[in-house]
């Protein structure tokens, strides 16, 4: 899988920590590149007005449209509002690890969580990374970069024996979130109770689901019959590679009816362009922030 700049991503577990953090920063830069700065402000800041450019103003805050129309440089100003927390749930269960492409669903979930989390922090939205597998990774929303890196670090290593706890983690989050937040879920949604719990979350919070899928789950391999084992229950079965193992249309309909934004992201898809378009279509990290 390539980034927007053509850099080929590797599995997060293959990189030293300093290299992992460097790639996340590059992904965050690519994700925000060329977009209206207010688009990724999240709920923490709101565009107020524009004023004439003054020496020392950041180029990132230039109002390019107004400047082009008037022939004079203008800078955007923002009003500080109550900061909106961003909770990113990363499914690290065994089904996220198996796959037929260079990067697994788990790899993409970790890269996407890091990039979205860093963009949100840069735009002054506190971020919490929550592990949605067996391993306990949970932190309070924070603007500190070190807190983001510490939360991501244990998630980089895949575990082929890990169960899913997505619905359970959502339940705990709903019980403890004291005010409306942004909740972003990165998962293949193999947890049978995940969609119903997401419906509950959608009534209280601004929710978005990035639904990850491998081509083998859509019947795209066409490799004949095979003996397989379910990754999380260890149940053996005889399967046919042309079978469509998961229905994304049904999941999408359920989530849309609940008012939850949904992105279907295949492991063969370009990560950054798809993510950027998704965030733009919903108006930013928090819906309606433009």
Listing DSSP states for 107-157 in one string gives HHHHHHHHHHHHHHHHTT--EEEEE-BSS------B--HHHHHHHHGGGSS
Let me know whether 158 and 215 are in one domain.
yes
pLDDT in tens for each of the 290 residues of the chain?
Answer: 656 555 689 999 999 999 999 999 999 999 987 665 444 444 555 667 889 998 888 888 889 989 999 999 999 887 655 578 999 999 999 999 988 899 999 999 999 999 999 999 998 889 999 999 998 887 789 999 999 999 999 999 999 999 999 999 999 999 998 888 999 999 999 999 999 999 999 999 999 999 999 998 876 555 554 455 554 555 654 555 545 555 678 888 889 888 899 999 999 999 999 999 998 888 666 664 43
Let me know whether 136 and 64 are in one domain.
no
Alpha carbon distance 167, 162 (integer Å): 15
In the DSSP assignment, the letter for residue 67 is H
Let me know whether 30 and 53 are in one domain.
no
Let me know whether 26 and 150 are in one domain.
yes
Residue 125 has phi, psi (to 5 degrees) of -110, 120
Let me know whether 58 and 116 are in one domain.
no
Q: Say which CATH number the domain at 243 has.
A: 3.40.50.410
Q: Is residue 286 part of a domain?
A: no
For residue 64, the enclosing domain spans: 45-80
Give residue 39's pLDDT: 45
Alpha carbon distance 99, 96 (integer Å): 8
Query: Which tokens in the block code for residue 208?
Result: 């978005």
Give residue 226's pLDDT: 47
Let me know whether 145 and 102 are in one domain.
yes
Alpha carbon distance 20, 26 (integer Å): 10
Q: Is residue 2 part of a domain?
A: no
Torsion angle of C-alpha atoms 64, 70, 72, 73, degrees rounded to 10:
-20
Instruction: Count up the domains in the chain and report the number.
Output: 2
Rounded to two decimals, what is the model's pTM? 0.78
Query: Which tokens in the block code for residue 164?
Result: 């899913």
Let me know whether 65 and 141 are in one domain.
no
Let me know whether 142 and 22 are in one domain.
yes
Let me know whether 22 and 71 are in one domain.
no
Let me know whether 95 and 205 are in one domain.
yes
Q: Is residue 115 part of a domain?
A: yes
Q: Is residue 202 part of a domain?
A: yes
Q: Is residue 105 part of a domain?
A: yes
Give residue 83's pLDDT: 76
What sign has the CA pseudo-torsion 167, 172, 178, 182? Answer: negative
Q: Is residue 258 part of a domain?
A: yes
Q: Is residue 3 part of a domain?
A: no
Domain boundary among 80, 103, 136: 80
Let me know whether 239 and 206 are in one domain.
yes
Q: Is residue 152 part of a domain?
A: yes
Give residue 29's pLDDT: 94
Give residue 25's pLDDT: 96
Give residue 216's pLDDT: 85
Let me know whether 258 and 275 are in one domain.
yes
């Amino acid at each position: 899988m390539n980034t927007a700049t053509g850099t080929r991503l590797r599995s997060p577990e293959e990189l030293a920590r300093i290299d992992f953090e460097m790639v996340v920063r590059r992904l965050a830069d690519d994700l925000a590149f060329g977009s209206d700065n207010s688009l990724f402000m999240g709920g923490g800041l709101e565009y107020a007005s524009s004023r004439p450019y003054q020496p020392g103003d950041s180029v990132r805050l230039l109002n390019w449209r107004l400047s082009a129309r008037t022939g004079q440089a203008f800078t955007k100003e923002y009003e500080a509002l109550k900061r909106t927390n961003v909770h990113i749930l990363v499914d690290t269960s065994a089904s996220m690890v198996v796959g037929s492409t260079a990067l697994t669903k788990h790899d993409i979930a970790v890269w996407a969580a890091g990039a979205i989390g860093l963009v949100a922090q840069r735009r002054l939205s506190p971020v919490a990374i929550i592990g949605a597998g067996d391993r306990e990774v949970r932190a309070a929303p924070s603007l500190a970069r070190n807190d983001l890196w510490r939360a991501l670090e244990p998630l980089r290593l895949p575990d082929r024996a890990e169960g899913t706890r997505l619905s359970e983690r959502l339940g705990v989050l709903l019980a403890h979130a004291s005010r409306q937040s942004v909740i972003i879920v990165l998962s293949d949604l193999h947890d049978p109770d995940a969609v119903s719990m997401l419906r509950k979350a959608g009534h209280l919070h601004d929710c978005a689901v990035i639904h990850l899928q491998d081509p083998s789950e859509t019947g795209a391999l066409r490799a004949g019959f095979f003996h397989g084992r379910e990754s999380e229950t260890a149940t053996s079965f005889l399967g046919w590679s042309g079978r469509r193992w998961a229905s994304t249309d049904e999941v999408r309909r359920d989530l849309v009816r609940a008012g939850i934004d949904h992105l279907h992201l295949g492991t063969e898809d370009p990560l950054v362009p798809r993510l950027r378009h998704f965030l733009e279509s919903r108006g930013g990290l928090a819906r309606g922030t433009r």
